[in-house]
Amino acid sequence: MKQRNGFVSNSSSSSFVISRSKLTDEQVYKIENHIEYWNRVVEVVPGSCAAREEDAWDIRVNEEAVGGYAFMDNFSMVKFLKHIGVNEYDIEWDGHLL
């Protein structure tokens, strides 16, 4: 029988990268401010609830790409990116954060 000693975690992490050329300035703004934006529109998205600030993704933007990282994936970035019109084929999941 195998035993594991030490700290064991079932935490998950996730990341994404999107080429800046695939996004509008408005989409970049919404990604950078995803919690604030989501909480303004949540009432019009069926089956959704408000997001907490502690669920925010670490978002990084440069001239070439927009990337995000979350240690505990409690905010549905997939649903959010779809809501703001990002093409799912333009998203590289678990890509290298900027």
The answer to whether 16 touches 71, Cβ cutoff 8 Å, is no
Contacts of 91 (CB under 8 A, 6+ apart): 16, 17, 18, 81
Which strand (E) or helix (H) includes residue 27? Answer: helix 25-32
In 3-state terms, what secondary structure has residue 67? strand
Q: Tens of pLDDT along 31-85? A: 999 999 999 988 777 778 888 999 899 999 999 999 999 887 678 899 899 999 9
Average pLDDT, the chain: 84
Tokens of 59: 């978002």
Angle between helices 25-32 and 34-41 (to 10 degrees): 100
Q: Report the pLDDT averaged over residues 7-29.
A: 83
CATH architecture of 14-93: 2-Layer Sandwich (3.30)
